């Protein structure tokens, strides 16, 4: 994994393509990463119900991706089932990302919505050394997201919308050291500087497993990675506005709620379809929206100040029914009156 993402990725618009300023709604294109299960699957279902264009469900596993695609078609929720597509995409693999870029460019000329959902999180109590957790989590949740943006941003058409799935764990109230918070907010104004800091965290955890805590970072690899995602979102919006101001391209980060998925051991306050509400809201923002732009949006679609002293109160979470295959989502979540809470 380290070899795949060894170089510090930086965002540049060095893949120029000739794009029409706008396309008719039926020709628009939406992409969702990590979408064969969990929240990504829920987001694709919502797009199927609300979006008139082409929808790409992407996943690193061809078999699981194809199965998820078929489940959605069998649910008969798609406005245009013939426009629902699967494409293999392991965001850690540069060849995959490059291949996907060329496929989208050739088939559609551009994209209109990019939802960066793919991510990992280690379970509490994991026996994996913390330095390894930090490296793998940052490489997947932050560095691979950067690389996805580097490859696909040049395809974004006018009024393009980007949604970075984040977490309440990425709120800057998680930073305990004032100087570190100031450095992140005031000095870290480019993706290069932010990426260097992410590498810095990986390095210090290798020296001592608690060195990051002494510096003010939260004691969670996932939280560190999502702080990076939130800050990156702000940096990218500034770049959009300064370099492509007349294109009305908007990127936001979102906390979708405490989602009951395998990643959370099925503990949460919302299921995957309920959690898709805010990401879908951001993906479908109308042209020339004044806000949110480069901001942190909560599960109720409100804008949250991500450097406030405190974050919104965490709701009660409860155990949901374990769902291990997309077909089970249909049985558990899509039948009126069926509860998602586990009994006992």
Task: Give the pLDDT of residue 117.
Answer: 98
CATH 3.50.50.60 is right for the domain spanning 25-121+142-173+224-333: no
Task: Give the pLDDT of residue 10.
Answer: 53
For residues 78 and 48, is the Cβ–Cβ distance under 8 A? yes
Task: Give the pLDDT of residue 126.
Answer: 93
- Tokens matching residue 31: 């992409």
Task: Give the pLDDT of residue 13.
Answer: 46
Please provide the average confidence, as pLDDT, over all residues in the chain.
Answer: 89
Q: What share of the chain in percent tops pLDDT 90? A: 72
Name the residue among 31, 330, 279 with its Cα closest to residue 152. 31
Range name among 24-28, 117-121, 227-231 with the lowest pLDDT average: 24-28
- Can you tell me the distance from the alpha carbon of 50 to that of 42, in angstroms, rounded to the nearest whole number? 13
Task: Give the pLDDT of residue 337.
Answer: 43
Residue 165 pLDDT > 70: yes
Task: Give the pLDDT of residue 122.
Answer: 95
Task: Give the pLDDT of residue 7.
Answer: 47
- Average pLDDT, integer, range 71-76: 92
- Average pLDDT, integer, range 216-237: 97
At residue 297 the predicted structure's pLDDT band, cuts being 50, 70 and 90, is: very high
At residue 19 the predicted structure's pLDDT band, cuts being 50, 70 and 90, is: low
Annotated catalytic residue: which of 101, 222, 236, 333? 222
- Average pLDDT, integer, range 113-139: 96
- The three-class DSSP label of residue 97 is helix
CB atoms within 10 A of CB 272: 26
Residue 93 pLDDT > 70: yes
Active-site residue, 329 included:
no
How much helix, strand and coil, in percent to the nearest 5, is found in the chain?
Answer: 45, 15, 40
């Amino acid at each position: 994994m380290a070899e795949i993402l060894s170089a510090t990725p930086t965002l540049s618009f060095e893949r120029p393509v000739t794009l029409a300023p706008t396309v008719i709604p039926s020709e628009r294109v939406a992409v969702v990463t990590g979408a064969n299960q969990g929240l990504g699957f829920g987001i694709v279902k919502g797009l199927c119900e609300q979006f008139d264009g082409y929808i790409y469900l992407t996943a690193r596993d061809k078999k699981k991706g194809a199965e998820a695609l078929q489940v959605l078609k069998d649910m008969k929720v798609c406005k245009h089932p013939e426009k629902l597509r699967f494409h293999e995409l392991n965001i850690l693999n540069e060849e995959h990302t490059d291949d996907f870029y060329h496929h989208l460019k050739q088939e559609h000329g551009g994209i209109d919505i990019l939802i960066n959902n793919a991510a990992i999180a280690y379970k509490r109590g994991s026996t994996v050394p913390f330095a390894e957790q930090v490296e793998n989590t940052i490489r997947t949740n932050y560095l691979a997201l950067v690389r996805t943006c580097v490859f696909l941003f040049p395809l974004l058409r006018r009024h393009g919308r980007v949604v970075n799935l984040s977490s309440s764990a990425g709120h800057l109230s998680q930073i305990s050291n004032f100087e570190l918070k100031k450095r992140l907010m005031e000095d870290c104004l480019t993706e290069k500087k932010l990426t260097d800091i992410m590498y810095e965290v990986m390095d210090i955890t290798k020296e001592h497993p608690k060195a990051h805590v002494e510096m003010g970072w939260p004691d969670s690899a996932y939280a560190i990675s999502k702080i990076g995602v939130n800050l990156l979102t702000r940096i990218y919006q500034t770049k959009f506005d300064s370099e492509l101001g007349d294109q009305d391209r908007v990127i936001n980060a979102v906390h979708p709620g405490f989602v009951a998925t395998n990643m959370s051991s099925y503990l949460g306050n919302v299921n995957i379809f309920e959690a898709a509400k805010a990401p879908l809201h951001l993906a479908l923002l109308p042209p020339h929206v004044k806000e949110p732009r480069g901001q942190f949006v909560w599960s109720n679609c409100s804008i949250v100040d991500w450097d406030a002293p405190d974050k919104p109160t965490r709701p009660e979470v409860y155990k949901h029914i374990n769902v291990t295959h997309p077909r089970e989502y249909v049985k558990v979540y899509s039948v009126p009156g069926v509860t998602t809470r586990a009994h006992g």
